[in-house]
């Protein structure tokens, strides 16, 4: 580090000092009664506290499941692995599920990453843009056609081999009976309902149908996906659910 | 369809309150006494619900937008996507004032999401002037730049902080948002005369003042104040504010409180204290 670094050199070294173990910038800081490292450490602590608080707000169920101490270790390591890439902190934490999935100390909690995925989907649902719902009288005729049914931008689907919706609810309001983890996987539809986030478990064929729609498949292709293993698929029930909550925003004809 | 806003409403020369999410509902429902509100712009970048709430507040009160994430002083360029979001928010809210900080917070793809100090060098000054000119051109309006609180100084700084701040305003035409608490915090942390700093401010350029509480870090060899915004304004900062009012004239003044946010009435009481000093009879002019 030169004695008089350029602005670019200084800012890179500052960022390294915040996210790493060392303080490459110490030689450029006036000690003024303290060690230069102590002054940089004030900033490192502030950066860490801000990032941890954002994760704490976005991932309350993960926090409840692992406890404060574990969470802050995970948050510190996450910041160093996936530093924020946005000036808007609402974007921070997008990779927390991927991080937890491979964090050695979390491997025994094999459902934890999926709980984190559900929580990120909840946040995305809350922050998604506005869209006018479809006039429901138009929806009945298009089922099982080559038309495309567009879901609102706040609609998300989380599929897990674990009962993550049950786990999420238990983490927020534990019941004395406890929670069984052996009840199989869950598919959860997540959307914004006024200023709340709503969640509902749907069955596997319905989740395959929704996943195909989100990927841009036409209605008939999505239907084929839903029924590919010949399990029973209640299309009418699912469409009724989507209409009831006004989760469809358009029906379109695609030429491609 | 609610009526659209009828053009910007300027911020009065009164004491306003920093409006944070915990008080949004109260402000909309009860319309409490407050001369104006300032919000953090980034809180309203995503989330249609939040913008709708702010529009409702804006119908009843003058609103100022205060940014914390543009990172104007980054050596590697302006964050245009962030600026575009700010521009869209300005169009929708029609704020009386728009402000940011004399700082940086991002380099490359890494955002540290903090207000970080610049070295006070000619290079940093040139960078800030150029950025502010671009931002003012892009937004089609003058912005205010706020002096930062800081916990370190860079050894290669060549310009005193107050000269850097004044020169930025002179060269870019930006207004200044003088944070009196930050001046006091830095005067203790870096050992300079806070009154001389205030005297060095160009009175015409200062368009807003911020006041907030700070904390003192214990068990260190030297005093270190942290700009925590978690308590009432300290007596030393009120005294400095009194001096600022006498030297610069009364300015729109904001009470900021961002952590351990108290009842709204506490913020109103702090604003009332500021009003007393702003409108006290002036015995001696400087």
Give the residues across from A199 on adjacent strands. Answer: A190
- Spatial CA neighbour of B192 closest among B120, B104, B126: B120
Sign of torsion, CA B58 B63 B68 B69?
A: positive
Q: Is A41 exposed, middle or buried (0-12, 13-18, 19+ CB in 10 A)?
A: middle
For chain A, percent of residues with pLDDT exceeding 70: 94
Identify the band that residue B2 occupies on the pLDDT scale cut at 50, 70 and 90: very low
Identify the band that residue A225 occupies on the pLDDT scale cut at 50, 70 and 90: very high
Q: What is the DSSP letter of B221?
A: S
Asked, for residue B285, whether it belongs to a domain, the answer is no
Structural contact between residues B80 and B112, judged by C-beta atoms closer than 8 angstroms: no
Cα(A106)–Cα(A65) distance, integer angstroms: 11
User: Which pLDDT value is given to residue A248?
Assistant: 92
Give the residues across from B57 on adjacent strands. Answer: none
Return the SS3 of B35: coil
- Res. B283: pLDDT tops 60: no
- A79's CB contacts (< 8 A; 6+ apart) are A19, A47, A48, A51, A52
pLDDT, mean over chain B: 94
Q: What is the DSSP letter of A139?
A: T
Cβ contacts of A90-93, under 8 Å, gap ≥ 24: A90/A123, A90/A127, A90/B42, A90/B45, A90/B46, A90/B47, A92/A51, A92/A54, A92/A55, A92/A58, A92/B113, A93/A54, A93/A55, A93/A58, A93/A59, A93/A120
Search chain A and give the residue with CA nearest B82: A87
- The vertex-A42 CA angle with A41 and A46, nearest 5°, equals 110
Asked, for residue B2, whether it belongs to a domain, the answer is no
- B131's CB contacts (< 8 A; 6+ apart) are B72, B73, B78
Q: Give the CATH number, domain containing residue B36.
A: 3.20.20.150
Asked, for residue B286, whether it belongs to a domain, the answer is no
Search chain A and give the residue with CA nearest B120: A7
Question: CB distance B47–A87 less than 8 Å?
Answer: no
Q: What is the per-residue pLDDT across B23-79, written as a single tens digit (0 to 9) for each?
A: 999 999 999 999 999 999 999 987 667 888 899 999 999 999 999 999 999 999 999
Asked, for residue B24, whether it belongs to a domain, the answer is yes
Question: CB distance A84–B85 less than 8 Å?
Answer: no
Asked, for residue B70, whether it belongs to a domain, the answer is yes
Q: Domain count of chain B?
A: 1
Cα(A61)–Cα(A86) distance, integer angstroms: 24
- Structure-derived torsion over alpha carbons of residues B129, B134, B138, B142, reported in degrees to the nearest 10: 20
Find residues 111-130 of chain B whose CB sits inside 8 Å of chain A.
Answer: 111-114, 116, 118-119, 121, 123-124, 127
Residue A185 Cα, gap to closest chain B Cα (Å): 31
Please, how many CA atoms are within 13 Å of residue A143, restricted to the half-sphere of its CB?
Answer: 15
Structural contact between residues A130 and A84, judged by C-beta atoms closer than 8 angstroms: no
Select from A14, A39, A87 the Cβ nearest to the Cβ of B42.
A87
Q: What is the per-residue pLDDT across B156-196, written as a single tens digit (0 to 9) for each?
A: 999 999 999 999 999 999 999 999 999 999 999 999 999 99
Task: Cite the DSSP H helix spans in B215-283.
Answer: 235-248, 264-278
Reported ipTM: the value is: 0.93
Asked, for residue B186, whether it belongs to a domain, the answer is yes
Structural contact between residues B67 and B98, judged by C-beta atoms closer than 8 angstroms: yes
Asked, for residue B136, whether it belongs to a domain, the answer is yes
Structural contact between residues A68 and A56, judged by C-beta atoms closer than 8 angstroms: no
Mutation for testing the B interface, residue in A35, A81, A88 having most B CBs under 10 Å: A88
Structural contact between residues A223 and A235, judged by C-beta atoms closer than 8 angstroms: yes
- Spatial CA neighbour of B278 closest among B188, B142, B149, B180: B180
- B159's CB contacts (< 8 A; 6+ apart) are B120, B121, B122, B125, B167
User: Which pLDDT value is given to residue A181?
Assistant: 87
* Chain Cα centroid distance, residue B137: 21
Residue B244 Cα, gap to closest chain A Cα (Å): 27
Q: What is the per-residue pLDDT across A162-182, written as a single tens digit (0 to 9) for each?
A: 999 999 999 999 888 888 888
Strands B110-116 and B144-146 come out as: unpaired
For chain A, percent of residues with pLDDT exceeding 90: 76
Q: Is A84 on the interface with B (CB under 8 A)?
A: yes
Q: What is the per-residue pLDDT across A43-75, written as a single tens digit (0 to 9) for each?
A: 999 999 999 999 999 999 999 999 999 999 999
Sign of torsion, CA B53 B57 B62 B68?
A: negative
Q: Is B170 on the interface with A (CB under 8 A)?
A: no
**Least reliable range by pLDDT among A101-110, B224-233, B245-254, B276-285:** B276-285
Structural contact between residues B69 and B113, judged by C-beta atoms closer than 8 angstroms: yes
Query: Structural domain of residue B34, as residue ranges?
Result: 15-221+230-278
CATH 3.90.930-classified regions of chain A: 129-256
Cα(A15)–Cα(A178) distance, integer angstroms: 44
Select from B49, B119, B190 the Cβ nearest to the Cβ of A10.
B119
Q: Please provide the CATH number assigned to the domain covering A129-256.
A: 3.90.930
- The vertex-B140 CA angle with B253 and B144, nearest 5°, equals 25
Question: CB distance A34–B224 less than 8 Å?
Answer: yes
């Amino acid at each position: 580090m030169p004695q008089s670094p350029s602005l670019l050199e200084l800012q890179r070294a500052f960022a390294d000092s915040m996210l790493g173990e060392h303080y490459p910038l110490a030689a450029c800081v006036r000690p003024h009664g303290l060690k230069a490292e102590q002054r940089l450490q004030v900033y490192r602590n502030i950066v860490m506290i801000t990032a941890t608080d954002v994760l704490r707000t976005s991932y309350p169920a993960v926090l409840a499941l692992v406890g404060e101490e574990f969470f802050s270790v995970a948050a510190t390591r996450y910041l160093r692995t996936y530093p924020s890439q946005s000036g808007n902190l609402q974007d921070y934490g997008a990779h927390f599920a991927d991080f937890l999935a491979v964090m050695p100390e979390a491997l025994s909690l094999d459902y934890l990453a999926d709980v984190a995925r559900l929580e990120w989907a909840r946040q995305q649902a809350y922050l998604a843009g506005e869209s006018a719902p479809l006039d429901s009288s138009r929806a009945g005729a298009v089922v099982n056609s080559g038309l495309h049914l567009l879901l609102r931008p706040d609609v998300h689907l989380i599929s897990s081999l674990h009962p993550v919706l049950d786990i999420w609810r238990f983490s927020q309001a534990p019941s004395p009976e406890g929670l069984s983890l052996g009840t199989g996987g869950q598919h959860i539809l997540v959307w914004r309902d006024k200023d709340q986030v709503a969640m509902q478990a749907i069955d596997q064929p319905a989740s395959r149908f929704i996943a195909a729609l989100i990927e841009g498949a036409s209605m008939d292709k999505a239907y084929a996906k839903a029924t590919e293993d010949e399990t029973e698929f209640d299309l009418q029930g699912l469409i009724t659910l989507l209409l009831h909550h006004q989760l469809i925003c358009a029906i379109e004809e695609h030429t491609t | 369809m609610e009526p659209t806003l009828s053009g910007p409403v300027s911020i009065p020369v009164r004491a306003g309150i920093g409006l944070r999410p915990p008080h949004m509902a109260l402000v909309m429902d009860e319309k409490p006494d407050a001369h104006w509100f300032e919000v953090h712009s980034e809180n309203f970048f995503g989330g249609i619900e939040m913008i709708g709430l702010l529009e409702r507040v804006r119908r009843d009160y003058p609103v100022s937008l205060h940014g914390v994430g543009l990172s104007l002083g980054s050596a590697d360029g302006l964050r245009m996507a962030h600026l575009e979001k700010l521009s869209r928010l300005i169009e929708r809210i029609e704020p009386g004032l728009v402000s940011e900080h004399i700082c940086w917070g991002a380099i490359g793809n890494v955002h540290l999401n903090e207000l970080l100090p610049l070295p006070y060098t000619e290079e940093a000054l040139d960078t800030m002037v150029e950025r502010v000119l671009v931002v003012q051109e892009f937004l089609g309006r003058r912005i205010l730049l706020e002096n930062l609180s800081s916990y370190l100084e860079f050894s290669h700084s060549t310009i005193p902080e107050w000269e850097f701040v004044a020169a930025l305003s002179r060269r870019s035409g930006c207004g200044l948002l003088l944070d009196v608490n930050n001046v006091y915090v830095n005067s203790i942390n870096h050992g300079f005369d806070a009154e001389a700093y205030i005297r060095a401010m160009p009175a015409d350029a200062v368009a807003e003042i911020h006041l907030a509480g700070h904390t003192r870090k214990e068990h260190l060899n030297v005093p270190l104040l942290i700009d925590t915004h978690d308590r009432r304004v300290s007596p030393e900062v009120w005294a400095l504010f009194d001096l600022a009012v006498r030297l610069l004239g009364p300015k729109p003044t904001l009470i900021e409180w961002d952590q351990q946010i108290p009842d709204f009435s506490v913020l109103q009481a702090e604003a009332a204290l500021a009003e007393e000093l702003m409108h006290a009879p002036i015995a001696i002019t400087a």
